A = this chain, B = another copy of it.
Amino acid sequence: MTDHVDTERDHPASGDLSGDEFRRYGREIVDWIADYLDRPERYPVLSRVRPGQVRAGLPDRPPDVGEGMDRVLQDFEDIVLPGITHWNHPAFFAYFAISGSAPGIMGEMLAAALNVNGMLWRTSPAVTEIEATVLDWLRQMIGLSGAFDGIMYDTASISTLVAIAAAREVTGLEIRQRGMAGRPELSALCLYCSEQAHSSVEKAAIALGIGQDGVRKIGTDEAFRMDVDELRRAISRDIDAGVRPFCVVAAAGTTSTTSVDPIADIAGVCEDHGLWLHIDAAYAGVAAILPEKRWVLDGVDRADSLVVNPHKWLFTPIECSCFYSRRLGAVRDAFSLVPEYLRTTEGGEVRNLMDYGPQLGHRFRGLKLWFVMRAYGRAGLEARIREHIRLAQLFTAWVEQAPAWELMAPALFSTVCFRVHPNGLPQDRLDALNREIMDAVNASGEAYLSHTVLHGAFVLRLSIGNIRTQQRHVERAWELLQRAAHVQMEESEESREDTDERSKSKDRAARLPSPS
Contact = CB atoms under 8 A, between A and B. Distances in A.
Interface stretch (A24-32, A394-402, A420-428): A24-32
A244 B182 CA distance: 9
Interface stretch (A202-210, A227-235, A300-308): A202-210
A46 B346 CA distance: 14
Contact of A209 (B95, B175, B317, B384): B175
B33 A154 contact: no
B318 A117 contact: yes
Interface in A53-73: 53-55, 58, 60-67, 69, 71-73
9 contacts: A2-B36, A51-B121, A76-B367, A80-B126, A84-B126, A85-B124, A87-B115, A88-B113, A203-B358
Interface in A322-341: 334-335, 337-341
A214 B179 contact: yes
Given A132-B55, A467-B16, A4 B34 contact: yes
Nearest to A87: B116
A138 B380 CA distance: 44
Contact of A125 (B54, B187, B363, B384): B54
Given A177-B211, A189-B182, A452 B30 contact: no
Interface core residue of A69, A75, A103 (most chain B CB under 10 Å): A103
A512 interface: no
Question: DSSP majority for the A interface?
Answer: helix
Q: Most B CB atoms within 10 A — which of A108, A242, A256?
A: A108
A140 interface: yes
A178 interface: yes
Q: How many copies does the complex hold?
A: 2
A393 interface: no
Given A35-B19, A339-B255, A378 B62 contact: yes
A49 B19 contact: no
Q: How large is the interface on A (under 10, 10 to 19, 20 to 34, 35 or more residues)?
A: 35 or more
A438 B5 CA distance: 31
A220 interface: no
Contact of A33 (B32, B75, B110, B212): B110
A239 interface: no
B28 A1 contact: yes
B256 A341 contact: yes
Contacts of A173: 181
B52 A129 contact: yes
A53 B110 contact: no
Given A72-B371, A76-B367, A105-B112, 7 more contacts: A15-B376, A26-B31, A47-B124, A66-B377, A175-B211, A179-B180, A206-B337
